[in-house]
Structure 1
Amino acid sequence: MNVYDVLKERGYIAQATHEEEIRALLANEKVSFYIGFDPTADSLHVGHFLGMMVMAHMQRAGHRPICLIGGGTGTVGDPSGRTDMRQMLTDDIIEHNCNCFKKQLQRFIEFDEGKALMVNNGDWLRKLNYIEMLRDIGPHFSVNRMLAAECYKQRLEKGLTFLEFNYMIMQAYDFMELNRRYNCKMEMGGDDQWSNIIAGVELLRRKYETPAYGLTFTLLTTSEGKKMGKTAKGALWLDPSKTSPYEFYQYWRNVNDSDVKNCLSLLTFLPMEEVIRLSSLENEQINEAKKVLAYEITKIVHGEEEAAKAQEAAKALFSGQGVLDNAPSLKISAEMLGSRLLDLLVEAKVFASKGEAKRIIQQSGLSLNNEKISDIDRLLTSADFSDGFCMLKKGKKKHYRLTLSNN
């Protein structure tokens, strides 16, 4: 099957500039394509993961991904989907974040023997002569069309800075440069990048009469249209030090029933026949599909060993079977015994604040060793520990293994 049809069947494709031409191109050539990642943080998150899955499907079909790290565009910040200006990052932070991205991307895409490339747009954008770029690129951009672009609309409400206004031009320049250097013929990105991608496609076609193509993939949203990947702690990160494999596993284990098929299609490599079978399960059986979903995604992101540990921990906590050693653990110093449980849990960031802790305790949402905690002044003592640990439950789905440490 043509990889375009694979992407379409699995629900990735949102928009394409030249659908039939792209389908024919992918059927008849080994195509170099790119997706850009701006280094706005020191880790990729689950929103990026969708693009990485697209790259993996394309690479498996014989095409060459170019992972473009935004060492240049990151100095400006993409205004797409924003109501306020992004925080400007220092060069040192941008370099650090770029290096973090490189390490993570290498776990998903095969770069050996030129099967994929990783490049940094800072290599050319930081060297540009402003006047030369204006004369070379400026005539091919209409300010009226740029202002009408979806990526600028929300920013116009509060005021679009000239700095941000240049972002579309910089992204289009990237496509042109990658075409020159690597014969890159296609740009891909999330559907919020449609206007920016069209700008690059049109620049190449107008300036050089070069065939160029753009494709956007659907954003990762729930059946209600809300963005997925947000947790109580913030984004669902791919870095295990920011979101543990267990937390990552549990996020997918707890998705709504109506989101199971979409997640299985977009975020796993399971055959569509299996996706359809699993997502058609009903009532309690749908939980089996969610377990498969959580395991498969965690395996891709964190590896088979960590996925198995997360699965084992979930089994131990929720069904009383399995190995508790793999459950999320909090160390409690022996010196802290006799302190208020509430204070210890706020310090350990189980609760964001004392106010949240008090509210949940008053709502009977906290248990220690299967006993409801009703007293906000309840102390944690050695009597709560058996074999060096005790079990804490926050709400219906958050479990922690408190271990006693002598340090």
Structure 2
Amino acid sequence: MSRWIIFIVIYFLLSFYGFQAIKTITKHSWLHYMFIAIALLVIGNFMYQFLSQSEGRVLSPGKSYALGFLLTFLSLNLVLVPILFIEDVIRVCLGLYDSLVTTKDGFYLPSRRIFVSQIALGLAAIPFTSLLYGMYRGKYNYRVLKYTLHFEDLPDAFDGYQITQISDIHSGSFDNREKINYGVELIKSQQSDLILFTGDLVNNKASEMEPWKELFGSLSAKDGIYSIFGNHDYGDYVSWKSGEEKRQNLEDLKQIQREMGYNLLLNESRFIERNGQRLALIGVENWGKGGFKKAGDLKKASELVDPKDFKILLSHDPSHWDEVVTKDEHHYHLTLSGHTHGMQFGIEIPGWVKWSPVEWRYKHWAGIYESNGEYLNVNRGFGYLGYPGRVGIWPEISVITLKKGPKPA
């Protein structure tokens, strides 16, 4: 409870500075009252959601929006505070100078300057509106990102082979069927030879996927749909009445994937054949460093694979690639991962800037990476979790075309 008290005190101190900017710019009292009402509503809803009974660590939709609005309101105040605080320091120094050096009697604190508050509010409006946009539209701003990868040892029959990768659906967060349907139709329109899903179908429970099962089950590809589990699929972040209930949840999720026509790979492999040639498709269970579940067994998954096979590996957490895959005796030509979501926040200008705070945690967090002829694609995710939006890091559908031959100079 002491942490809550500290948090509330900090929240209201930050809000006080925000109120000062509003008060300086306008004398309309209704705007002052509106700011105060919003501040109270945001913190009140946040406390109600997070102090109520919870099933586990993962955020429910109600909690996610409470967190989203809190972050949005705090972003406004966190920009205002440094600017107004520096102005306050200058005001105090000027007041002390006047009282000590000049002939003025007593201490006089100069008034706030309107233009400083205007600048502060203008700058604060950037993250504020961005986070609101991210919740309203950004989380459904689907992007199809296309990559062409060249391999000299790609079987001739698979030259030009196209793969669509989706990841991190997180169906328990969805709140707009029309937008989700648009995203699914976008996947279909790629008409790829193969669709691969790299984990996190749900947030916590298999039941979250029930309203969306028919929609995602409408996906199809010539060579099928293959999938793996992500860390959220195991139900580790929610409270269960018994171990049996948790095990049954996992079995239910497996059954849902079968009903959707997904071929779930649990530390096992399959082969895609064309004209007497084949690709090895390998799927491992979740393996992640830093406290995440390590159920993935690459040796077991690859035991039927020939060293000469062209290999495509599905592994949810990209840390597996750097820690295990690239060090394995087998050469895994292409690994497909997700997990990071690009933190759902960042700045990306192709060819210029690619940044997100998630890079402080993950070396490989979005897009294509290469090491000694082995490639990794980290999908930014189809859905969202926690903050119910996306800013700058948009939901992704990856389309990868395999080409035989050396990479063009």
Shared fold by TM > 0.5? Answer: no
Q: Which has the higher contact order (CA 8 A, sep 6+)?
A: 2
Higher helix share: 1
Bin for the TM-score computed over the shorter chain = under 0.3
